[in-house]
Structure 1
C-alpha cells in the first residue's frame, strides 16, 4: 500500500506530526510497536509540566510559546481538557544557572515572572519550606499538560483527517530510494514518498537503518505519587514545580483531583536497552529514596508513598533535541533525543516535522537542534 508519508512512532512527536500531515491533506500511515498511549515511552504517567520562562535556555522560549498556542487550539478543536493553568514554581539558589536562565528567559521575552524570597514562598504555599538562600520564580501562565489525553486528542484528529494507525507493528527494515521509502514490519511492506522518524528510545535502531550513527542514550527514569494534604497540595492552589538542588534536579505536580502529590527526579538514571525488560519502580533504593529525601527537606507534609512508575528518557550528549532532515535524504525528517524535557514541545515539533516534509523548511527556529552537530 502506498502513502504520502509514513511516521515511525505514534507517541508524543509522531502522533502530533500525523495530525498536522493528515490535516494538510496527506495520506498518512503511523506505525507503532505498541498501542499508544503506552508505558514504553516518555508520555505516560498522566501529566507533564509546560514552562515558558525556560531554564534550559532562551533558545527554547519561542518554541514553547508556540507550543502553548497549539495546545490551546487542540483543546478547542477536540473539546478535551488538556491544560491546567496551575502556574509553575521554579526554585533554587539565586546563584543557580537554571534559575538565572529562567529569569533571563522572562526578561528577554517579557514573560510574567514573580521572584519570591523563601518567606514569600512559604507564606503563599505553606507546604513548601526553602533554605534561606533559595528564591522562587513563579510563572502564573504555565502549568500542567494531561499527556496521555494529549496523545488521544492527536490520535482523534489524525484519524478524523484520514490517517491510518497500525499498532503492535515494530519496524523490521527500511529501504530508502531517492524518491521514497519502503518500511517493512513482520507481516507487511508499506511504501511512501516521505518518512518521519519519531521512535523514542528505538530511534538509534531506526536511524542505523538509515545510515546514521547518532549518540542517543535511553535511560530508565522513575516518578511517584505521595499522599498529600489537599489543602496544602491540591491543584486549585498549589503549582507544578521544578527544584534545582545540590542533590539533584526535581520536578513535581500538585495533587490533581486527589491523585496525590507527584514527584520525579530529572537528573541521573541508568542506561537501558529498551528491548529488554526494565526494572520496575522500587527495585532500586533510590527510586523512592531520592524522592522521600526531597520531600523531607522541602515538602515535609507530603511523605507517604502511594505508588510509582518508570519511563524512558532518550538523551543526547548536550541534552538538546534533534529535529532535522536526513543529511542525504531530504524526504526523511527526524525527531529524537528529547532528553526528558520534550513532551511540552510535541505540538510544535509535530507542526515543524509536517512543515519539513511538506516544504523542506519551517518558520519555527530549529537551528539549535541540527543533526550535524553530532556528525
Structure 2
C-alpha cells in the first residue's frame, strides 16, 4: 500500500485548505473525495457564504474568524479569481435577541468596528428594509465583513495544493478507516493507502465514517435550500451598498446576500430543512412547496422589493451538532486521527483557519489557537 504522511478524507472547504497548508510544509498528502470538488453534492455549493467577525454564536469564535479572514485575504493575493467582497454584514432582530447582544459584546471585547443601529437608522440607511409593527428592532452592522465566493476559494486551494505536490483522487469514496498502533489504513472504492495521520472532514458523511472507528457522534444531516429572487438592484445591489444579512425573526433565523452582478437577492433559512441521510437526499429544489414558500414569505415581510420571481433555487446538505458548535479534536483512542465535523450553518467562513489549525496540530502536536470549545468530551456530545 502506498504510504503518505497525511491522508485527508473529504476534500471540501476544510480538507482542501488543510491539504494546501500541509503540502506547503513539505508533507506528503493524499486528498480523497467522493466527488470532484468544488461540487454541489455536499455542503459547500451555492456560490457564496457570509463571513462575520463580531460573533453572535459566541465571542470565543472571533479570534478564529479574524485569523480566517487574514488567510482568505492571503489567498486572494494568490488567486486571479475573486475570493472575498467586502459588502458589510447587517444582523438584525428584536431588541432582546441574545444573538445580537452577544455579537455587540463580541465586537466590544475584541475591539472590532461594529455599529449598533436602531430600526429607524437601518431603514434610513437601507431603504429596502421593512420592519413589522411588533418591534422595536436593533441591528449590528459590521462594515469590514462580507461575502466569500465558495467555489473560487476551494478551486484556488485545490490548485495551490496540487502545485505544492499533494495528490488528489476524485470520484473516490472512502469505504473504511482502520486504526493501527503507528499508522492508519484508508480503504477506498479503488485501493488502500496508509498514513501517519488522517484528517476526517467529510461533511454529512462524517457520522458514517466515524462509526467505522468506533466513534458515535450526534451529527444530523439535513436537506437545506437557498433561493435567488429578482430584486431592485438600486435598493439591494452589492454595488449600491446593500449588505449581507442575518435576520432573527419570529419565523426563524434567515441569512442572505445582496444582489451581486444582478444575481438577485439570495436567501436561506437556518431553521428550515428535512432530516435526511446524505445518499438519500432529495436534491431537486421545489419538490416541496415550502422550499420556495419559506424564503419568499421572509422577503415579502422584511424586504418586499426583493421578493420577486424566483430566479434559481438549490439544495445542499447541512450537518450540525446538538449545540451547533463545531467538532475539532483528535479521536479519543488514537491522536493520529483528527476529526473536523458539524460545521453547517456557520462553518465555511472558518475553513481557512481550521485548515491551518489542523496543519499546526499535525506539525506541532497542538493547535496555535484555543479550540477547546470544539472538544469531543463536551456535555452536548456525551449526553
Question: Which band: TM-score by shorter chain?
Answer: over 0.9
Distance 2:283 2:344 in 1: 20
Q: Which residue of 2 aligns with 1:47?
A: 48
From 146, 155, 158, the equivalent of 1:155 is 158
The yes-or-no answer on 1:293 pairing with 2:293 is no
Distance 1:292 1:77 in 2: 38
**What runs of 5+ residues in structure 1 fail to find an aligned partner?**
none
Deviation at 1:339, TM superposition (A): 3.3
Deviation at 1:364, TM superposition (A): 1.2
Distance 1:346 1:187 in 2: 28
3-state SS of paired residue (2:238):
coil
Deviation at 1:176, TM superposition (A): 1.5
The yes-or-no answer on 1:345 pairing with 2:350 is yes
Q: Is the contact made by 1:90 and 1:136 (CA closer than 8 Å) also made in structure 2?
A: yes
- Which region of structure 1 is more displaced relative to structure 2, 246-255 or 76-85? 76-85
After the TM superposition, which residues 274-313 of structure 1 pair with which residues of structure 2 at under 5 Å, given as runs?
274-303=278-307, 304-313=309-318
The yes-or-no answer on 1:117 pairing with 2:121 is no
3-state SS of paired residue (1:149):
helix
After the TM superposition, which residues 16-35 of structure 1 pair with which residues of structure 2 at under 5 Å, given as runs?
16-35=17-36
Deviation at 1:268, TM superposition (A): 3.0
Q: Which residue of 1 aligns with 2:227?
A: 224
The yes-or-no answer on 1:210 pairing with 2:192 is no
The yes-or-no answer on 1:334 pairing with 2:339 is yes
Encode CA deviations 1:34-83: one digit per residue, 9 max, x unaligned: 01011111111100000111110111011101110110011112343200
Deviation at 1:302, TM superposition (A): 1.4
The yes-or-no answer on 1:78 pairing with 2:82 is no
Encode CA deviations 1:68-124: one digit per residue, 9 max, x unaligned: 011001111234320000000001011001111111111111111112211211111
After the TM superposition, which residues 201-280 of structure 1 pair with which residues of structure 2 at under 5 Å, given as runs?
201-236=204-239, 237-280=241-284
Distance 1:78 1:300 in 2: 37
Q: Is the contact made by 1:181 and 1:193 (CA closer than 8 Å) also made in structure 2?
A: yes
After the TM superposition, which residues 56-95 of structure 1 pair with which residues of structure 2 at under 5 Å, given as runs?
56-95=57-96
Distance 1:371 1:359 in 2: 20
The yes-or-no answer on 1:360 pairing with 2:361 is no
From 130, 134, 138, the equivalent of 1:135 is 138
Cα RMSD of the aligned pairs, angstroms, is 1.1
After the TM superposition, which residues 159-178 of structure 1 pair with which residues of structure 2 at under 5 Å, given as runs?
159-178=162-181
Distance 2:236 2:254 in 1: 16
Encode CA deviations 1:164-210: one digit per residue, 9 max, x unaligned: 11001001122221111111112211111110000000001111111
Q: Is the contact made by 1:196 and 1:332 (CA closer than 8 Å) also made in structure 2?
A: yes
**What runs of 5+ residues in structure 2 fail to find an aligned partner?**
none
Q: Is the contact made by 1:9 and 1:32 (CA closer than 8 Å) also made in structure 2?
A: yes
3-state SS of paired residue (1:172):
strand
Q: TM-score, normalised by structure 1?
A: 0.98
3-state SS of paired residue (1:54):
coil
3-state SS of paired residue (1:220):
strand
Q: Is the contact made by 1:240 and 1:253 (CA closer than 8 Å) also made in structure 2?
A: yes
Distance 1:197 1:277 in 2: 22
Distance 2:167 2:161 in 1: 8
Distance 1:166 1:25 in 2: 19
Distance 2:33 2:374 in 1: 24
Distance 1:293 1:73 in 2: 39
Q: Which residue of 2 aligns with 1:325?
A: 330
Q: Is the contact made by 1:78 and 1:157 (CA closer than 8 Å) also made in structure 2?
A: no
Distance 2:256 2:164 in 1: 35
3-state SS of paired residue (2:334):
coil
